[in-house]
Amino acid sequence: MKKDSLTIRVSIADRFYPMNIKLEKEEMVRKAAKQINDKILQIRMLDNSQRETIDYLAMVALNFATNFLELSEHKDIDVLAQEVDSVNQELEQFLKLN
């Protein structure tokens, strides 16, 4: 094992998963696992049926994927807005020179 990597055990939905990760990623991986477990618990509490854990995992995955896509779309809008601002500044400078 490399000096900058670490083997940890992460619990998700009452199962343990060994992971070999970079040292600087440990906190993020543990936080991600906690978010998954918290979201599973939240959905279980709202759901009156007795679904299998895999169903809750699928719902959590869909929720996180949807949130990720929403954030990705906003990031694209921010990049586009920055480009528009840049072009606008160039136009203003051009107009001042002429």
The lowest-confidence range among 5-19, 64-78, 80-94 is 80-94
d(CA 86, CA 54): 48
Residue 66 lies in a domain: yes
Residue 95 lies in a domain: no
Residue 96 lies in a domain: no
Residue 97 lies in a domain: no
Domain of residue 30 covers: 5-72
The string of DSSP letters for 6-32 reads EEEEEEETTEEEEEEEEGGGHHHHHHH
Domain count, the chain: 1
pTM of the prediction?
0.71
Give pLDDT, residue 78.
74
Is residue 8 within 8 A of residue 21, CB to CB? The reply is: yes
Query: Binning pLDDT at 50, 70 and 90, where does residue 2 land?
Result: low
